[in-house]
Homo-oligomer: A and B are copies of this chain.
Amino acid sequence: MNSTSPIHITHEPLDVGRVGELVQHPGAGAIATFVGTTRDHTGDRRVLRLEYEAYRPMADEQLQRVADEMLDQWDLTGVAIHHRLGRLEIGEASLVVAVSSAHRQAAFEACHFSIDRIKQIVPIWKKEFFVGGEVWVGSQEDFNPLGAHEVAAER
């Protein structure tokens, strides 16, 4: 597994353009891309940096499961998901998802689904470092590893 793999978890900086190239296809009419970046605030608190930690190889397997669910539910010509681990400075990309399809609706829906689904099932955690403190982020509401995933048609 390296940066040319469609599913990739790495401590190296993510290459957004590269991830997009991985889903190019002559039958594609649309490429939807999502880049999650480290923002300088959460609510009112100023964020200094982040750290991401994964439970591997389960995180790799669950990320592949997200991609498989996307390919099952939509007619896609390509899916790539790269996730960064370790220490990230403000502005750096933690996640890049690229999805290609013949028609834009499928690419958009699948891309959006992937982000929500990653937050439901993929064992990766983010720690935010503030001035004077740090906190593990995680939402009991979103976390849904045992439930069925939502039906795509809702979007």
Contacts and interface: CB of A to CB of B under 8 A. Distances in A.
Interface string A7-28: 0000000001100100010111
A129 interface: no
Nearest to A40: B26
Interface of A: 16-17, 20, 24, 26-41, 90-91, 100, 102, 104, 107-108, 111-112, 115, 155
Most chain B Cβ neighbours within 10 Å, of A38, A39, A155: A39
Contacts of A36: 29-30, 104
Majority SS of interface residues in chain A?
A: mixed
B30 A32 contact: no
Contacts of A30: 34-37
Nearest to A112: B108
Contacts of A38: 29
